[in-house]
Amino acid sequence: MKKPAKDTEDTARLVGRRALILGGVQAVAVGALALRMRHMQVDEADQFRLLAEENRINMRLIPPVRGVIQDRNGRLLAGNEQNYRAVIVREDAGDVEAVLRRMAQLVPLDDDAIERVLREVRRHRPFVPVTVAERLSWEEIARIAANAPALPGITPEVGLSRIYPQAHDFAHVVGYVGAVSERDLEQQEVPDPVLQIPGFQIGKLGVERRMEHVLRGSAGSRRIEVNSVGRVMRELSRVEGTPGANVHLTIDHQLQNFARARLDGESAASVVIDLEKGDLLAIASAPSYDPNLFARGISVPDFQALLDDEYRPLVDKSVQGVYPPGSTFKMVTALAALEAGEVVPEERVFCPGHMDVSGRRFHCWKRGGHGRVNLVSALSESCDVYFYDICQRIGIERINDMAARLGLGQRFDIPMSSVASGLNPTREWKQRRRGEPWLVGDTINASIGQGFVLATPLQLAVMTARLATGRQVMPNMVRAVGGIEQARAEAPPLDIDPAHLAIIRRGMSETTNHQRGTAFGSRVVDANYRMAGKTGTSQVYSITPAERAAGTRTDAQRPWNRRNHALYVAFAPETAPRIAVSVVVEHGGGGSAVAAPIARDIALFALHGGMPPLSAYPAPQRNRIETMQREMQLRLIPQEISQRPRG
Amino acid sequence: MSYLEYTVTRTPTGLSKVLYFHWALVLLPIAVAEIGFLMLYSIAGGSLSPWAEPQMRRFALGLGVMFVTAMVPIWFWRNMAGLAYGASLVLLIWVEFFGSVGMGAQRWIDLGFMRLQPSEVAKVTLVLALAAYYDRLDVRRASRPVWVVLALLLILLPTFLVLRQPDLGTALLLLAGGAAVMFLAGVHWLYFAVVIALGVAGAVAVMMSRGTEWQLLKDYQYRRIDAFLDPSIDPLGAGYHISQSKIALGSGGWSGRGFMQGTQSRLNFLPEKHTDFIFTALAEEFGFVGGASLLLLYALILVFCVVIALQHKDRFSALLTLGVAATFFLYFMVNMAMVMGLAPVVGVPLPLVSYGGSAMLVLMFAFGLVQSAHIHRPRNRS
């Protein structure tokens, strides 16, 4: 069947017409594509190129080397240690678990650690190294390296980690570093990008925290080219960061070591301050803990043990601990009265062992009374009644004023954590906090450093330093930052009559060196090192009727945490004072029996620049002191040749 | 018996047929394929493996297929059209039950030396079948409903099977390709208006069915649609492909970043850079000049096909040539629109450039059919 030619011509024309329509549509579409392409590649090319660069280029931060912390003689207190660790890369390892099991035969690696690594590995992309074990010994690293063929994907690495060679001695002062927490980030207005580096550590406590800004340094950066999954292809450029500045403290590590060792076994604190510039030579708090545990990440049981310890090792008692200063406060009351002109040194007050004020009886610590005492003997024998008497003449305001001038109730600006301000109670304060009016009994309690008065061992040391020098000594702890000596100007005078100060000093001298002085047992016989001090025994809880009924008569019979605090403050040498020292022993009992001997040992060590000679001690005590010194020697960190310049 | 057999008189025979090839339509696909080799070499980081070399071998095979197809008289192919169509349906059903799964869809049969995608085969066999169908059908009956429905069934059968895989992109291409042949065959334009209206309604239904039990598409397909409508909603998820491909394309600029200098493709930001997104690599490295050149080559292939078709007095040959051209057009149109962010991401390769055997072999076979129609075209008895 042959179709007519016309028919085929027609159909061909129809197809042709439709083909042209379709071709036209296609031409329009191709044109649209071309236009779109032109628009993107010519008009918007710059914008897209920028986006491509952003895709490609990644900034990686290079963590800066943290500044080290040294003592006044350059001894390392916080340093950076090379730390060997092993990392695993999933894509190189193949069967990660099998590799880890093999590795567990070479280095300590328990099931929990393996589980943790497996979790981490799964969470990250296959080329991201995950730390398997940290702080490996050289032997362990060598073992891993020797068995490399059996451990595919495992690479030994070297990094820096923080180390505290003086361990317990400087835990409270220097503090420690730890992983950056959410809270750390929140506290900063503009968080340093370096904080986002995994594993970066930030100062958590003490100098490490307070001087974080100088210790940290600034991060360097690498511009790297990455592919779509973030793998580093190559480094494009590198800007080195600035390492953190080194910080020199004024503290003498040897004295600090001695002070802490001497305090060990008690819950106590001691501060030694240099009178010339206010340099803090030692700030010890016992018991202490090893900050290295924290820098490495402390285990829960270890941390719980520190929390549960009744002696509160985590608390820095030297600057955070606030205590009723007890009799060590009497210099303040006496000086206030002298300056007010309400009392003359020769005036005698009769102490019958108590004083009745507005229907209440206030006892002197000496039940039988001191008899007739003047200012100097009231200080040296620590008669309470004398101060009950004079405080009523001057009132709490003038006592507070003098306390403030001597540095009490003031938060000193030293780079330690939670520095407490203590308390100089005022009428307004009591009204506000207690809702009760100030009573004369409150003034009487305050006059002997009881009641509401609170001070830190640091403040007591500063107070003593100001009494010894007559200058407004300010404590400081930083000697140099980044090698630049910090300005520590000589303190201005206190504007207190030198004659009045001399009388106070005489009272302190007689406390320690007069036969009837409360600290006579802790005197120093070497004229070069003679001390002048003041004991204090501050009541935490008075003996309750219930205790009395149970037969408790003396403080020592009570449970530890209800006993009195023992305090002692002193300056030395007596004639040309160089240092002031304070010691507080929590619930230690009596200031003269417990605190004063400790303060003497520490002061002598500071003055002598090492274990003090036995000749400094009174002859009858030398045998006992020798035994003690031998025991102490074992507890000290062995020193190289002593570098500390004397004075 | 049709017009074809009766009017062929001076048709070349034997090897002399080679002289009657339409050489432009031989050289243009070769040029396009070479651009493909170049890009596959580049994105492999300057290496023939893993893509460029297998692609070259397949193209050589494809050229062979084209020549052999071209030498076989066009009436043979016309007579084989029904068989080929049936065979491709069998393959599509086969792949439904025994096919290998890739990317969440059943798409290919492993032949050992290559992975055969029956959906690609169906594209050509459908055009072949429709061309034969309309060649046999009296042109005056073409618009009668019964014959239109028959043609529609021819189209919808493979389309449905491909959609089941599910391969939305190829299904749409089949539909559009088939519709193009129907249009060329002279089916009344009202049908198309109705179908377009239904298509819009269907699109609405697809979007409405989302989240219900009778959801028509897979979740990932919906996400692709969302991402297309607004790539910024999820720039690292479903919108990632589109954003990254636009970045690559745009950053190419006028003359590109240079051969093997494309950061987007070299650093793996481009997804599927060797298959569906290969055009972005070309546009990134050779810029507008490179992209427009490829577009020009494609356009030239279309133009030559239309010109050849217009010369055909024979209805089968004309419809076949134009159908092949339309299918070819749809391939690169959808692919390019997709990478430029003008169409949703559907799995459609860039013809002759994308890495992949089935599409290339099928296209070369289609070009072979066009050549055969050209060589064996009826010539005037003069």
Judge: A38–B288 Cβ closer than 8 Å, yes or no: yes
Least confident of A281-295, A532-546, B361-375: A532-546
Q: Is residue B19 part of a domain?
A: no
B284 contacts in A (CB within 8 Å)? 52
What does pLDDT average to over chain A? 87
Every domain of chain A with CATH number 3.40.710.10 lies at 253-298+317-481+495-641
Classify residue A521 by its DSSP letter.
Answer: G
Residue from A161, A285, A318, A327 carrying the catalytic annotation? A327
What's the whole-number mean pLDDT along residues B218-227? 75
CA A94 to chain B, closest CA, distance in angstroms equals 23
Q: Residue B230's pLDDT is what? A: 67
Question: Is the pLDDT at B240 greater than 90, yes or no?
Answer: no
Every domain of chain A with CATH number 3.30.1390.10 lies at 82-162
Judge: B251–A11 Cβ closer than 8 Å, yes or no: no
Secondary structure string (H, E, C) spanning chain B = CCHHHHHCCCCCCHHHHHHHCCCHHHHHHHHHHHHHHHHHHHHCCCCCCCCHHHHHHHHHHHHHHHHHHHHCCHHHHHHHHHHHHHHHHHHHHHHHHHCEEECCEEEEEECCCCEECHHHHHHHHHHHHHHHHHHHCCHHHCCCHHHHHHHHHHHHHHHHHHHHCCCHHHHHHHHHHHHHHHHHCCCCHHHHHHHHHHHHHHHHHHHHCCCCCCCCCCHHHHHHHHHHHCHHHCCCCCCHHHHHHHHHHHHHCCCCCCCCCCHHHHCCCCCCCCCCCHHHHHHHHHHHHHHHHHHHHHHHHHHHHHHHHHHCCCHHHHHHHHHHHHHHHHHHHHHHHHHCCCCCCCCCCCCCCCCCHHHHHHHHHHHHHHHHHHHCCCCCCC
The number of domains in chain B is 1
Q: Is residue B369 part of a domain?
A: no
Least confident of A219-228, A461-470, B202-211, B303-312: A219-228
Judge: B253–A47 Cβ closer than 8 Å, yes or no: no
Q: pLDDT tens digits, residue range A525-551?
A: 998 999 999 999 998 887 777 777 877
Judge: B291–A37 Cβ closer than 8 Å, yes or no: yes
Question: How far apart, in whole angstroms, are the C-alpha atoms of residue B63 and residue A506?
Answer: 116
Judge: A12–B312 Cβ closer than 8 Å, yes or no: yes
Among B247, B327, B334, B377, the residue to mutate for chain A (most A Cβ within 10 A): B247
Question: Is the pLDDT at B380 greater than 70, yes or no?
Answer: no
Among A1, A14, A18, A38, the residue to mutate for chain B (most B Cβ within 10 A): A18
Judge: A41–B250 Cβ closer than 8 Å, yes or no: yes
What does pLDDT average to over chain B? 85
Which CATH number is correct for A253-298+317-481+495-641, 3.40.50.720, 1.10.357.10, 3.10.20.340, 3.40.710.10?
3.40.710.10
**Entry pTM:** 0.64
Q: Give the homologous superfamily in CATH for domain A51-75+166-249.
A: Penicillin-binding protein 2a (Domain 2) (3.90.1310.10)
Q: Is residue B186 part of a domain?
A: yes
What's the whole-number mean pLDDT along residues A401-428? 92
Of A7, A18, A55, which has the smallest distance from its Cβ to B264's Cβ?
A55
Question: Is the pLDDT at A646 greater than 50, yes or no?
Answer: no
Residue B97: phi and psi, rounded to 5, are -100, -35
Q: pLDDT tens digits, residue range B27-77?
A: 999 999 999 999 999 988 888 888 899 999 999 999 999 999 999 999 899
Q: What three-state secondary structure class fits A423? A: strand
Judge: B283–A225 Cβ closer than 8 Å, yes or no: no
Architecture of domain A82-162: 2-Layer Sandwich (3.30)
Among B187, B267, B297, the residue to mutate for chain A (most A Cβ within 10 A): B267
Q: Residue A508's pLDDT is what? A: 95
Q: Residue B348's pLDDT is what? A: 85
Bridge partners, B115 (sequence order) = B110
Beta carbon pairs, A and B, within 8 Å: 150
Q: Is residue B378 part of a domain?
A: no
Q: Residue A502's pLDDT is what? A: 94
B176 in reach of chain A (CB within 8 A): no
Every domain of chain A with CATH number 3.90.1310.10 lies at 51-75+166-249
Percent of chain A with pLDDT over 70: 94
> At which residue do the structure tokens 């220097």 appear?
A174
Question: Is the pLDDT at B104 greater than 50, yes or no?
Answer: no
Question: Which residue of B lies nearest to A23 if distances are taken between CA atoms?
Answer: B306
Pairing of strands A579-585, A268-274: antiparallel
CA distances (Å), A52 to each of A32, A563, B234, B244, B378, in order? 25, 73, 18, 8, 55
Judge: B247–A52 Cβ closer than 8 Å, yes or no: yes
Give me the domain span that covers residue B304: 72-346
> At which residue do the structure tokens 């690609």 appear?
B120
Of A19, A29, A226, which has the smallest distance from its Cβ to B322's Cβ?
A19
Q: Residue A191's pLDDT is what? A: 67
Percent of chain A with pLDDT over 90: 54
What's the whole-number mean pLDDT along residues B148-165? 90
Q: pLDDT tens digits, residue range A100-149?
A: 888 888 888 888 888 888 887 887 767 677 788 878 888 888 888 888 88
Let me know if A285 is a catalytic residue.
no
Of A21, A26, A233, which has the smallest distance from its Cβ to B302's Cβ?
A26
Q: pLDDT tens digits, residue range A555-594?
A: 777 888 888 999 999 998 999 999 999 999 999 888 888 9
A25 contacts in B (CB within 8 Å)? none
Of A36, A42, A226, which has the smallest distance from its Cβ to B342's Cβ?
A36
CA A151 to chain B, closest CA, distance in angstroms equals 30
Question: How far apart, in whole angstroms, are the C-alpha atoms of residue B73 and residue B11?
Answer: 9
Classify residue A283 by its DSSP letter.
Answer: E
Residue A71: phi and psi, rounded to 5, are -85, -175
- Tokens representing residue B223 in the block: 């996400």
With a CB-CB cutoff of 8 Å, which residues 319-378 of chain B face chain A?
A: 319, 322, 325-326, 329, 333, 336-337, 340, 342
Question: Is the pLDDT at A641 greater than 70, yes or no?
Answer: no
Q: pLDDT tens digits, residue range A592-640?
A: 889 999 999 999 999 998 899 999 999 999 999 999 999 888 888 776 5
Q: Residue B8's pLDDT is what? A: 53
pLDDT band at residue A48, thresholds of 50, 70 and 90?
A: confident
Q: Residue B249's pLDDT is what? A: 86
CA B186 to chain A, closest CA, distance in angstroms equals 7
B313 in reach of chain A (CB within 8 A): yes
A41 contacts in B (CB within 8 Å)? 249-250, 252-254, 283, 287-288, 291
Q: Residue A496's pLDDT is what? A: 92
Q: Is residue B47 part of a domain?
A: no
Judge: A15–B319 Cβ closer than 8 Å, yes or no: yes
Q: Is residue B333 part of a domain?
A: yes
Q: Residue A257's pLDDT is what? A: 93
Question: Is the pLDDT at B236 greater than 60, yes or no?
Answer: no
With a CB-CB cutoff of 8 Å, which residues 271-290 of chain B face chain A?
A: 283-284, 287-288
B283 contacts in A (CB within 8 Å)? 37, 41
CA B2 to chain A, closest CA, distance in angstroms equals 7
B269 in reach of chain A (CB within 8 A): yes
B292 contacts in A (CB within 8 Å)? 34, 37-38
Of A2, A22, A37, which has the smallest distance from its Cβ to B288's Cβ?
A37
Q: pLDDT tens digits, residue range B134-149?
A: 988 888 888 888 999 9
Contact assessment for residue A513 and residue A532, using Cβ atoms and an 8 Å cutoff: yes
Question: Is the pLDDT at A284 greater than 70, yes or no?
Answer: yes
CA B5 to chain A, closest CA, distance in angstroms equals 10
Q: Residue B10's pLDDT is what? A: 65
- Contacts (Cβ under 8 Å, ≥6 apart) of A554: none
CA A200 to chain B, closest CA, distance in angstroms equals 28
A16 contacts in B (CB within 8 Å)? 309-310, 318
Question: Is the pLDDT at A432 greater than 80, yes or no?
Answer: yes
Q: Residue A123's pLDDT is what? A: 74
Question: Is the pLDDT at B295 greater than 80, yes or no?
Answer: yes
